[in-house]
Structure 1
């Protein structure tokens, strides 16, 4: 029994002796060619953000142009009287696209606690809701200044704008009325 134990002990000692030089080696130095990798990666992210910002600006400009065209067409179709011009001016000013909403910055949001993030998102939602309410009030005030025939034209035009919005791809995900899937009762 002793010889079997001795053989096992010698085998373990030999393995340990062979492994000792491997364990004594220092960690290999980082390759000098990759020292710029984090900087290159940060530059790539920065370039991506700049591209996204440029795309966002271009999209906002196109959106403003489309809105101006629609308002011009609407004004022509409504055939406003000189007495209705001040109401039109107030209406178009209220309908201007707002780009001054604060965007939630990812880096600063990560530094907040979950309840603080929720509060920040709620504050932003409240700001947007207030702007939407102001626009709705402006539409109602302008609508009240229109003659019945003009109101019908406004209603038809507004209905078409909603259909155009849906057809541009915003409603293409299979959702029907009130966000329900197609084929569901609603």
Structure 2
């Protein structure tokens, strides 16, 4: 049997080998199936990347984390009795908004009757409404924060600024990367 070097055949073989290696590596990188509900966690395995982060999918855990953070902030601020009313107003305004109700079967049936362009327009309308609601909630929180901040002493404002940087957007709780490095 003669084996002759053919550049195109050799290139095809390399491409095929590369594709097979990629598929094989991809298959090996797949996550294992989830354990049945109620089964204990496997030793040495950590929870998923989104579990435990502010109790995102569990409203009770999220509420507990918010309450804990607010209690810590209140202790650090050393509020006076005269500031308690402003604190109560501030913390009430900072509560997360309730999630919208799921569509009823009747609403879903009406949506299913729409043509594709009509559904696109309806989804755009719903998205616009949701964004307006989110913006209004953010504005309300911003104004509540400014109002509360105005009743704080300069020392309390400095403490509030430090704590707000830790917990605000792009602050110390950065998701996958953990806390931001502290300057000092």
Superposition TM-score tier, normalisation by shorter sequence: 0.5 to 0.7
Shift of 1:57: 8.7
- Cα distance in 1 for residues equivalent to 2:100 and 2:150: 29
CA contact (8 A) 2:167 2:173 kept: yes
Structure 1 residue runs of 5 or longer lacking an equivalent are 1-55, 173-186
**More helix per residue:** 1
Return the match for 2:131 from 103, 115, 125: 125
CA contact (8 A) 1:77 1:153 kept: yes
Shift of 1:102: 4.7
Return the match for 1:149 from 128, 136, 155: 155
C-alpha RMSD of the superposition: 2.7
| 3-state SS of 1:164 partner | coil
Which residue in 1 is equivalent to 2:59?
60
- Cα distance in 2 for residues equivalent to 1:79 and 1:102: 39
CA contact (8 A) 1:91 1:138 kept: yes
- Cα distance in 1 for residues equivalent to 2:59 and 2:125: 27
| Structure ID, larger Rg | 1
**Residue-by-residue CA offset, 1:102-140 (whole Å, 9 max, x unaligned):** 567894655551222211110111011111110111001
Q: Does 1:136 align with 2:135?
A: no
Which residue in 2 is equivalent to 1:165?
173
Structure 2 residue runs of 5 or longer lacking an equivalent are 1-54, 179-184
- Cα distance in 2 for residues equivalent to 1:59 and 1:142: 29
Aligned residues: 115
CA contact (8 A) 1:87 1:142 kept: yes
Shift of 1:97: 1.8
- Cα distance in 1 for residues equivalent to 2:121 and 2:62: 35
- Cα distance in 2 for residues equivalent to 1:103 and 1:155: 38
Which residue in 1 is equivalent to 2:78?
79
